[in-house]
C-alpha cells in the first residue's frame, strides 16, 4: 500500500525514569531507564476510495507494518495498530480519503 502522502504523524514516548523523593533532601534521586517505543497517530491520504478501503482492511487484519520514506527519517519504523482505525472522506476536497491509525511502534 502506498498512500499519496502522509498527512499527519504524531508520536510520543513514555520515559521509564523513576523519581525518588527522599525525606529531608531537596534533590530528587533518579533511577534512569530507557524510554519506551513510540506510540501515536498516523494519517495517510489516498486518492481513490478503493485504495483507502484496501488500506483500512489491511490495518484491520492484525499484522505488523513497515513505513519507509525517502523524505522523512523520523517516520521510518515498524508498527502495529494499537487502537482505532478511522477512514474519513476529506471535508475540503470531497475527493480524497484519509486513513488514521493509532499505532504502537514495535521492534523488528
Closest residue by Cα to residue 83 from 107, 59, 52: 59
Statement: 5-105 belongs to CATH 2.40.30.200: yes
Q: What is the pLDDT of residues 17-47, one digit of tens each?
A: 999 999 999 999 999 999 999 999 999 999 9
User: For 108, how many CA atoms within 13 A lie in the half-sphere containing its CB?
Assistant: 11
Q: What is the pLDDT of residues 64-73, one digit of tens each?
A: 999 998 888 9
Domain limits of the chain? 5-105
Alpha helices (runs of H) in 1-108, residue ranges in sequence order: 49-60
The rounded distance, in Å, linking the Cα atoms of 42 and 65 is 12
DSSP assignment letter at 39: E
pTM score, two decimals? 0.84
Q: In what order do the strands lie in the sheet with 5-12?
A: 5-12, 39-46, 97-105, 77-89, 65-67
Amino acid at each position: 500500500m502506498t498512500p499519496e502522502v502522509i498527512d499527519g504523524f504524531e508520536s510520543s514516548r513514555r520515559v521509564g525514569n523513576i523519581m525518588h523523593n527522599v525525606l529531608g533532601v531537596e534533590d530528587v534521586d533518579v533511577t534512569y531507564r530507557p524510554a519506551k517505543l513510540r506510540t501515536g497517530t498516523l494519517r495517510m491520504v489516498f486518492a481513490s476510495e478503493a485504495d483507502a478501503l484496501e488500506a483500512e482492511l489491511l490495518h484491520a487484519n492484525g499484522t505488523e507494518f513497515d513505513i519507509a520514506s525517502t523524505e522523512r527519517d523520523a517516520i521510518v519504523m515498524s508498527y502495529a495498530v494499537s487502537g482505532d482505525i478511522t477512514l474519513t472522506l476529506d471535508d475540503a476536497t470531497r475527493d480524497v480519503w484519509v486513513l488514521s491509525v493509532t499505532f504502537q511502534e514495535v521492534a523488528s
